Amino acid sequence: MHLNAEEQSMLSGEQGDLVREAMRFLVTLGQAYDADRMLDISYANVLIASSFWGKGVFTLDLIREAVDSGIRTRVPTTFNNWGTGGFGTDESIWERMDVPDRVRAQVIQEKEIARSLGIVPTETCAPYLLCGVGSVPSGAHISSVESSAIVYFNSVLGARTNRDCLAPFFAAITGKYPEFGYHLDENRRGVCLVDVRTPIRDTLSYGLLGLYTGKLVGGEVPVFTGITEPTTEDLMELSAALASSGSVTMFHIVGVTPEAPDLETAFGGHRPRETIAVTSDDLESVRNNVSDAEGMVDFVCLGCPHYSIYEVKRAAELLDGRRIQPEITLWICTAPQTAMFAEMAGYADTIREAGGTIMTGPGFCPLFSPGRPGPEYSFAHPEYSIGSFATDAAKQAYYARPNLRARHVFLGSAERCIEAAVVGEWR
């Protein structure tokens, strides 16, 4: 693998131990994938989870020494949620959520590390929604964690990232990433044609389409036809679902996404390996697989990926003047910055008055929460269960049974979920 003089200097240790170890990680990664050279990246979206540190040479002491010697991230860098050692938590309701002291200390430490390295504390799985923070130009080489964000960055924004986990942190420290995978044109072209033969009219349908397609294409690049004018939220939902039932890293929608102005370009001049037709029956069968038909509801969770401000606004409108059942928990999950807008606009008051909670803060993700509000149990407890769970997110519904040990799962529109929270059951 060719390294230029600057990269050699990093690897030799001339620029400090953390930079050396970061470059060593990236070189090893690149060699494993036969990369010829390093790329300059323009953005990183990183995970800081102290459970990963302290292993091997990557100790907290190593990071602290680097910070003391003036090392900072070299490119604009954001802090994804679900750091915090795998526990998603909202600092403002730690008491209610019964978050253990050990986890609180971990959260504080991770925030301190991020701040000291110059990382912007976005704390969301949808940093691309935060104008000027997680938005990157088409064609930019970046390195990102979070499967739903990775698909969105590649497909909707046209930026280039692999499905990374620890690498973005090292990429942020060096400003480098090995050239392989989705950084190369040949790996970005479509492989499977997905002919959507039913109208996809709402965000939930995009989620069902994503679950259906992801399972069939696995890690290949699907090219959708038959979809017109998706919203930002529709594309977020599709991205998240494709990366849940499958390991999709990018997709194209002909006439919509930046690298698919037409079918031929989307496939890079090649023929599709296979064609998948999607009908309304297919989507209905996906819904029936992940969602129960009716029953009592304990817990309603909206915002996976984290809600945009327009989705928070819509939830507030649906809750305006209503009151959810006292025994039901309603979470609306969003980025801290979006929560601030919701406070300013009065949406947060409306949601609180109805009995709901806007969940945000350092590393909040409902799938990694240490428990539902007021829990006696956490994930570690053998009897832990989120109860009967309703969501508007295909990704949440897909994972709710194995991850949250939900007794029942209900998947439907935000309107239907809020109705269930108000009446107490899924009808």
- Residue positions counted in the chain: 427
Tokens of 318: 């649906």
Q: How far apart are the first and last CA of the chain?
A: 59
Tell me whether residue 71 or residue 351 sits nearer to ligand F3S (CB atom).
Answer: 351
- Give min distance, CB of 90 to ligand F3S, in A: 12
CB of 236 to ligand F3S, least distance (A): 8
Nearer to ligand F3S, 166 or 367 (CB): 367
CA distance 204 to 397: 11
Is residue 299 classed as helix, strand or coil in its secondary structure? strand
The distance of closest approach from Cβ of residue 1 to ligand F3S in the complex, given in angstroms and rounded to an integer, is 33
* Residues 6+ away with beta carbon under 8 Å from 42: 75, 76, 136, 137, 140, 141, 142
Task: Return the closest-CA partner of residue 19 out of 8, 4, 35.
Answer: 8
Query: CB of residue 40 vs ligand F3S: minimum separation in angstroms?
Result: 28
Separation of alpha carbons 243 and 304, rounded Å? 13
Smallest separation, CB 398 to ligand F3S (Å): 10
* Nearer Cβ to ligand F3S (173/250): 250
- DSSP result, 218-229: TTS-EEEES---
Q: Say if CB 65 and CB 18 are below 8 A apart.
A: yes
Query: Measured from the CB of residue 361, what is the shortest distance to ligand F3S in angstroms?
Result: 13
Burial of 289 (0-12, 13-18, 19+ CB in 10 A): middle
Q: DSSP class of residue 58?
A: B
Write out the residues near ligand F3S by the rule CB under 6 A: 81-82, 125, 146, 148, 240, 304-306, 333, 365-367, 395
Does residue 81 contact residue 304 with C-beta atoms inside 8 Å? no
Whichever of 148 and 249 has its CB closer to ligand F3S, that residue is 148
Contact indicator for 202, 183 with CB cutoff of 8 Å: no
Query: Sign of the CA dihedral 271, 276, 278, 283?
Result: negative
Q: Nearest approach, Cβ of 408 to ligand F3S (angstroms)? A: 19
Residue 363 Cβ vs ligand F3S, minimum distance, rounded to whole Å:
9
CB of 83 to ligand F3S, least distance (A): 11
For Cα atoms 96, 236, 202, give the angle at the middle one, nearest 5 degrees. Answer: 100
Q: Which is nearer to ligand F3S, 148 or 155 (CB)?
A: 148
Give which of 151, 275, 128, 157 is closest to 207, Cα–Cα. 151
By beta-carbon proximity to ligand F3S, the closer residue of 178 and 363 is 363
Give the SS3 label for residue 37. strand
Separation CA 171–CA 43 (nearest Å)? 9
By beta-carbon proximity to ligand F3S, the closer residue of 77 and 80 is 80
| Helix segments in 98-231, DSSP class H | 101-116, 147-152, 167-174, 203-217
For ligand F3S, which is the closer residue by CB, 19 or 301?
301
The residue (of 11 and 397) whose beta carbon lies closer to ligand F3S is 397
Place of tokens 């403002």: 92
Report which of 381, 377, 384, 389 is spatially closest to residue 328, judged by C-alpha positions.
Answer: 389
Q: Least Å distance between CB 364 and ligand F3S?
A: 8
Q: Closest CB to ligand F3S among 148 and 325? A: 148
CB of 338 vs ligand F3S, minimal distance in Å? 13
Tell me whether residue 205 or residue 360 sits nearer to ligand F3S (CB atom). 360
